[in-house]
Every structure is written in structure tokens, then in C-alpha cells.
Amino acid sequence: METKGREQGIGLIEVLVALAIIALVSGALIGVLSTSTKASAGNAERTTAESITQSKLEEIAQSSYDADVSHMSSTIPWSNDSSYIVQTLGESIDLSGNPSQADYGIQRVTIKVSHNGDLIMTTQTYKANHG
């Protein structure tokens, strides 16, 4: 018997086209998930760096003014997570903000926080001799 019109059922071409569409959509979703995961990890890393910096700033604020800034300069692993490195640099500056060997009663302190070798945050603050 002859059949007229289109035959019922799904052909090989339709199945292959459907699989190609599914593969494209899946690839796009995986890309979005990967980007989202990286962004989330970056946010956590930045939050930790901010916490470390805040702790270091409080430590500097609590310490008494010392004309010898060498005690401020250090590079150490963070005590709670050694994959974070805290670099602190203290320098005496003049009233124009330029580094100075003389003590004008003001110091610039730079704090750099790195994680797994990548610099995450740099913060500068100033410490003045109020005495």
C-alpha cells in the first residue's frame, strides 16, 4: 500500500538536530555556571583580604608612634590561612608626601594582601605623631 503525505515518527535528522540544540544549550549553561563560581570565589577572596587589611590597620592604629618605621615593614603569612601573604611597608614622609629620612611626625603605611601569589588588595594609611 502506498502512504500519502508525511510518515509518522521521528527521523534520524530530527534526532541529530535536537541533540545539537541540547549540546549548545548545555555548553552555554556550563559557561555561565563556571563564570558564576569564579566570581563567587573572587568575592570570598576579596572579603578575606578586606578582613586581613582591617585587622592590620587596627594593629597599626593601636601601636604607639615610633620614628623608626623599620618595625612596620614585614612580609608574613596570615596566621589564619597561610595562602594569604600580608606585606606591610612603613615609611617616613615629609609634609608634601615624599619619602624622607627625617622624621616629620607623619608616616605612610602600605598594606598589600596576596593570595596564592596574586595581589588582591593594596591599602595605604597614615600614622601621625600626636605627642
Angle at 88 between CA 83 and CA 94, to 5 degrees: 165
Per this entry, what is the length of the chain?
A: 131
Question: What number is the average pLDDT over the span 111-117?
Answer: 91
The per-residue pLDDT for range 8-30, each reduced to its tens digit, is 667 888 888 999 999 999 888 88
What burial class does residue 66 get, using C-beta atoms within 10 Å of its C-beta: 0-12 exposed, 13-18 middle, 19+ buried? middle
In which order are the strands placed within the sheet that holds 118-128? 74-77, 84-92, 106-115, 118-128
Model confidence band, residue 1 (pLDDT cutoffs 50, 70, 90): very low
In this prediction the pTM is: 0.65
CA dihedral over 108, 80, 113, 123, signed as positive or negative: negative
